[in-house]
Structure 1
Amino acid sequence: MKITEIPVTCLVEAQDKLGEGCFWDAATQTLWWLDIIEPSAIHRLHVASGAHRKWQFTEKVTAMAKRNDGTVLVGTHTGLSIFNPETGALSPWRKIDPETPGNRGNDGACDARGRFWFGTMMNNIGPRGEDLPITASTGKLFRIGPTGEIAVMETGIGVSNGPCWSPDGKTFYFSDSMAQIIYAYDFDAEAGTISNRRVLNDTKDYGYPDGATVDAQGFIWSARWEGSCVLRIDPRGRIDRVVPMPAKRVTNVCFGGPKLDTLYATSSRQGLPEAELQDRPLSGGLFCFDPQVTGFEKPAFAG
């Protein structure tokens, strides 16, 4: 394991309260991400030109996946919606877990077959954006098929985060941030099922595992909430690299750029003490750096 002092660029000083949900759209060469806390926002950045667009909403948006028709699947506080960037409309599509009204949506991503894996957690955001305590592991992991069919794949989660897959599609990675654990599962791509859960990495030295992605060599890149860094973790769970970041709460990562050789990272500034914000004024920004390896574009939702 080595600490790698890679130059990190702040592409957009977004001042997101809780930046998340990033993905790269190769067709338009744009980077998408969101801000969860109301007024929530969806951001789109055309990296080459610097053109930045932002849409705001009165409900929480928490995760995203592109769709091949140019719209975006959006995880929300209570379910899934479809966002149309041409009109700015966010249209409800499916309710998720209405039997647990104290939960909210969190992170999500599509597998190679275009099924959306979406995690929930006990809601920890108050009506004025204040932190609420998480007192129980009521989160679940759902699999949503192209026509909207919903299956519960995991329960008893504190904070659902970081769904991603190994390059060969045989391993699924998923984090419970509250437990500070990244899990690995066997993944059956044909059936869309997970099994044989085991602990991949449970380090307590670098904050909490948040959003994650996998590179072309099969290593996991883990954004670290309260850890001021991004970790690169090998398929056996060993920390290979620590990349320091100019934000304490790094929330999600994705590969992008014309050659998929840039790593983008979102961050949060909500609830940080004033001294921390003065020390790290770019907190809540969108960052990027050269990871010295290529990755993958996240798959689109098949629906």
Structure 2
Amino acid sequence: MVIVDIQHVTYRYPTSKEDILCDVSLQLDAGKVYALVGENGGGKSTICSLIRGFVPQIFKGELTGKAIVFGKDVAEVDLGENAQKIGYVAQNPFTQITGATESVFEEVAYGLENLGTPREEIITRVTEVLQLFDIEPLSSMNPTQLSGGQKQRVALASVYAMNPDLFIIDEPTSQLDPVGTKDVFDIVERLKTAGKTVLLVENKVELVARYADKIFLVRQGKIVDEGDPRTLFTKASTAESGAFIPQYTLLAKALNDNGYVVNQYPVLQEEAVALIKQLREKEATR
């Protein structure tokens, strides 16, 4: 089932002299993980704002084309209604915490309270989410005292507790260390296993390659290509567009350029390891 249908959207911010989105079209089906990759400033976050209805309702500006999300035009949908269907996690974990709570348990419960969820249901749901996200040991801690990775995990848990149909996760690891990054992608994996729809903006392409079902390549406000990770990341045009390429794919390309025959470029670590073993075995039999 298609839950996001963007057709030929062009958009310009009120203070801008140029379009930030140019003839953008994409579709998101329920239950899949998607990723937006490409150059910084290319329009990825604006696409997220469009899906949420912030473009054009809050940011105003000039918009042409159609963006239908959950069957309603984003230019007309009630943003409060949208907020119950779309969970959003921004890139800065330090701005994710509300500052209105004194414990992680209360922080995860905060959104449910605002929705008027019955108290007993809140307790049950928050308890389940804390267990699912492996943050039960943090439940009594003050959210402001957590590490960046822990805060991002709590932010994701808070969104998950509200049970949205679509998760938009905008560069969640840009300010995190490797441990915090692993925490976030553990959650992405759990969302995928749970059958949730996820739109991920992320430049750590090795991880995108592992979890995304489909990737949209964004450049200068346009979607210039799309496809599954293996198809997209092994194209020369992807690197030329300014997008990052998995290091495992780059390694295979370097080997191929230096006389080693590589029949299929890897995009995952285990594929690269298998390739190296295969090449070593060939060398040993010469």
TM-score range, shorter chain: under 0.3
Higher share of residues assigned helix: 2
